[in-house]
Amino acid sequence: MKSNKSLSEYPILTLKNVTKRFGGVTAVDHVTFTVKHGDVLGLIGPNGAGKTTLFNCITGLSSPNEGTLYFGDSQVLLNRLYPYQITTKGIARTFQTIRLFKNMTVLENVMVGAHTRMRTGFWGALFRPRWVKIEEKKITAHAYRLLQFFGLSSKAQLLAGNLPYGYQRKLEIARALAADPKLLLLDEPAAGMNPTEKEELLELIRAIRGRGVTVLLIEHDMKVVMPISDHVVVLDYGKKIAEGAPKDIQNNPHVIEAYLGKGARQ
């Protein structure tokens, strides 16, 4: 399945003993794994297993108490960076609950997503020299192309808050992709979607992977995770209890015990 073997040898993201405690609760407990270039990695686990906390550690929202996170070809240490700096390094994310800019248009949402791709600063915005105008045009076109890719171009001028739910989910992904990330973190993108929409989402994630973006995916729905993932990591009570190819995970007794239950054997 992997199109580029040589690249995928190298990890794009390395987690070593990442631990996050909230008071007495250890939400993420010495988690170690790597994400390979060009892979789709599924992160699964029961509710409260620490998946989102791990996402927050990667994206800089909360800094881990222990352990290290390295990202990219030059393996930058992410631990002490702010969220916006991490985005600049090439990691973008979506949210479990939709967090669009509701009073901005669909197109503007994606253009904000492209914030890190632009150079216009304070003075550039104020005096708008020629290069800023050109950059604006480029970014608008870039955002528009992305909307086309997601089938949202006809809604470009609508306010994001007025979109139907399924489109809002898509727009979140489009906005995250606008930054041209190397690694895309999707936090339960299929939540609240119907089977048709989930099918579309799978296609979309495949297409995103086809663009050379590595995807780290939190998902509850096995019908979404299993067909799309190259590799699956399972968390339970903050600990990594298993990892491997989707097929192995489905047959792993620990995982079945912790999470998948009877449904996995169907």
Partner 1 sequence: MITDLKPLSKLWLPLMLLAIFAFPFVDTNPYHVDVMVTTGIFMLLALGLNVIVGYSGILNLGFAALFAFGAYTYALVNIHWHVPFWIGLWISGFATALFGILLACPALRLSGDYIAIVTLGAGEIVRIALNNLDTITGGPNGLLGIDHPGLWFPKYQFGVKSEPYYFLVFVLVLGVIFFLKRLESSRLGRAWCALREDELAACFMGVSPVWAKLSAFAIGGFIAGLAGCVFAAKQGTVSPDSFDFVVSVMVLAMVVLGGIGNIGGVLLGALTLSLLPEFLRGFESYRMLLFGLAMILMMLFRPQGIAGFVRPKEEYRPKKITSPK
40-44 and 214-218 as β-strands: parallel, antiparallel, unpaired?
parallel
| 59-88: contacts with partner 1 (CB under 8 A) | 59, 61, 82-84, 87-88
In 3D, which of 85, 262, 44, 15 has the Cα closest to residue 52? Answer: 44
| 166-205: contacts with partner 1 (CB under 8 A) | 175, 179
- Contact by Cβ (8 Å): 139, 111: yes
User: Which member of 157, 196, 253, 262 binds partner 1 (CB under 8 A)?
Assistant: 157
Rounded-to-integer distance, Cα 235 and Cα 97, Å: 21
- Contact by Cβ (8 Å): 197, 205: no
Rounded-to-integer distance, Cα 7 and Cα 260, Å: 32
**The token pair that represents 34 in the structure block:** 């790597």
- Give the residue with the Cβ less far from partner 1, 119 or 262: 119
Sign of the C-alpha dihedral computed for residues 173, 174, 175 and 181 taken in this order: positive
In 3D, which of 227, 94, 225 has the Cα closest to residue 172? Answer: 94
Question: What SS3 class is residue 236?
Answer: strand
- Give the residue with the Cβ less far from partner 1, 124 or 246: 124
Match 């992997």 to its residue by tokens.
2
66-71 and 11-22 as β-strands: parallel, antiparallel, unpaired?
antiparallel
User: Which member of 36, 93, 209, 231 binds partner 1 (CB under 8 A)?
Assistant: 93
Sign of the C-alpha dihedral computed for residues 89, 94, 97 and 99 taken in this order: positive
- Give the residue with the Cβ less far from partner 1, 35 or 92: 92
**The token pair that represents 183 in the structure block:** 């690694």
Q: Give least dist CB 9 to partner 1, A.
A: 29
Bridge partners (DSSP) listed for residue 214: 183
User: Which member of 46, 72, 124, 244 binds partner 1 (CB under 8 A)?
Assistant: 124
Q: Which stretch binds partner 1 (CB under 8 A): 73-81, 143-151, 191-199, 222-230?
A: 143-151
Q: Give least dist CB 108 to partner 1, A.
A: 5
Q: Under 8 Å CB-to-CB from 130, ≥6 apart: which residues?
A: none
- Give the residue with the Cβ less far from partner 1, 218 or 249: 218
- Give the residue with the Cβ less far from partner 1, 128 or 247: 128
User: Which member of 10, 19, 79, 104 binds partner 1 (CB under 8 A)?
Assistant: 104
Match 């994400």 to its residue by tokens.
35
User: Which member of 125, 131, 211, 248 binds partner 1 (CB under 8 A)?
Assistant: 125
Q: Which stretch binds partner 1 (CB under 8 A): 16-24, 110-118, 226-234, 245-253?
A: 110-118
User: Which member of 4, 22, 73, 99 binds partner 1 (CB under 8 A)?
Assistant: 99
User: Which member of 21, 34, 66, 144 binds partner 1 (CB under 8 A)?
Assistant: 144
Task: Write out the residues near partner 1 by the rule CB under 8 A.
Answer: 59, 61, 82-84, 87-88, 92-93, 95, 99-105, 107-108, 111-113, 115-116, 118, 120-122, 124-128, 132, 136, 139-141, 143-144, 148-149, 151, 153, 156-157, 175, 179
